[in-house]
Structure 1
């Protein structure tokens, strides 16, 4: 037996506007006028002032970074350390060959508390007495913005994170190294060589 032909319902068919329609011509005319105005506006906008860079930076070399290193730790860095079975304190000392002071802000702590009982080991590590706590003065508990604000104010931190978006934001700030969890150890990105 053959298939019976089904007719389409009335409202199910999409209607297409013809290219010669007056509405299409009007929209194209408006777009060309807007692009000309935008090009003229871009030509008149010139950079009048450059953002001020820290005095500690010299050719992208941060002179504020010296042992003992102060390391701002993100939520996912602790979680990845637990997954890869890396001891946080020993791993930091092995990767940087110096004494390290792990620092956790209030926002990161709040993020860990929000994650619930599945992340209780990470919360226990964050509450360790070896980890220094830093108070936040801003509203909200978004850890990425908090970390970005800290490194913009003070260029003396190394940021420990595995978050791709946060890494992308940090790379735009000169002189701030990034520490992330590799396969079996921590990986340091953009740490300057000591020329002392």
Structure 2
């Protein structure tokens, strides 16, 4: 089996398992025609089914299919097939010889086994392996029935039928909607719990009872103003302001700051300066 086809079959069986509950060992209903064709192509029927379905299988044959083999027992090699079919698990279809002198066709027999109540569902999770086209056509109308057949010594599994695929898509959409509803309900409950907690803890004097949330602005944060070097313009403005408060001209303060000295004026006693005692002596005091 080629890798691409094998991967498709594995994925298909996983979808059947998730949507319709298929699990190993898979119950495979086999008719008389596929047993004879597998012997004609020299194929291992059970091994081919396990490789195609990617899991262990439980081959099952109905009473009507066994009666078809018994009816052809006069042909060469059929007696060997009868002995081989006896090793498979017998699926009792209820079509007894006393009630049905002639065995039912594979289409009628397998349909009664897969869907006995005719409600278009594969309740017991059967896989149908049949060579008859009419059987596969009938099984496509039933939801969740994997179909297997042999084509030129290659075992093929059909893709999902239209009814099966539609039902699976419908279930997936229902699960998706249910998940959305559960998620929205949980978010609503969380939001309500948060509002109640805010009313209890964030009450203020105004009696509003609502906790105000501070909006956090997006974008780059501003630097720490204490760590930023002040510009020369701001320093000169601050110097002018200090000079005005001290009664000095801004130019005098700048000159004093540039020379590194500060002049201080004080009055002298009468008689120490001029004769009238009105002039003031200026003394330069070095702060350093």
State the distance in 2 between where 1:105 and 1:132 align.
Answer: 9
Q: Which of 12, 24, 29 is 1:72 aligned to?
A: 29
TM-score of the two chains, using structure 2 as the length reference: 0.42
**Conserved? CA contact 1:71–1:160, under 8 Å:** yes
Alignment partner of 1:125 is 2:84: yes
Aligned-residue offset at 1:78: 0.4
Alignment partner of 1:110 is 2:67: yes
Partner of 2:141: 172
- Written as runs of structure 1 = structure 2, the 5 A alignment for 1:10-159 is 62-118=19-75, 119-128=78-87, 131-138=88-95, 139-140=99-100, 141-142=103-104, 143-153=106-116, 154-159=123-128
State the distance in 1 between where 2:113 and 2:92 align.
Answer: 11
**Conserved? CA contact 2:38–2:153, under 8 Å:** no
TM-score of the two chains, using structure 1 as the length reference: 0.61
What is the total number of aligned residue pairs between the two structures? 132
**Conserved? CA contact 2:64–2:109, under 8 Å:** yes
Partner of 2:176: none
Aligned-residue offset at 1:182: 2.2
Bigger relative contact order, structure 1 or 2, given CA contacts below 8 A and separation 6+?
A: 1
Superposed structure 1 runs of 4+ greater than 3 Å apart: none
SS at match of 1:117: coil
Partner of 2:130: 161
**Conserved? CA contact 2:149–2:156, under 8 Å:** yes
SS at match of 2:115: helix
**Conserved? CA contact 2:28–2:60, under 8 Å:** yes
RMSD of aligned residue pairs (Cα, Å): 2.3
**Conserved? CA contact 1:144–1:166, under 8 Å:** yes
**Conserved? CA contact 2:30–2:59, under 8 Å:** yes
State the distance in 2 between where 1:79 and 1:105 align.
Answer: 15
Structure 2 unaligned blocks of 5 or more = 1-14, 117-122, 165-288
Aligned-residue offset at 1:97: 1.3
CA deviation profile, 1:111-138 (whole Å, cap 9, x unmatched): 110112322232122012xx11122223
**Conserved? CA contact 1:155–1:176, under 8 Å:** no
Structure 1 unaligned blocks of 5 or more = 1-57
Alignment partner of 1:186 is 2:186: no
Indicate the structure with greater helix content: 2
SS at match of 1:102: strand
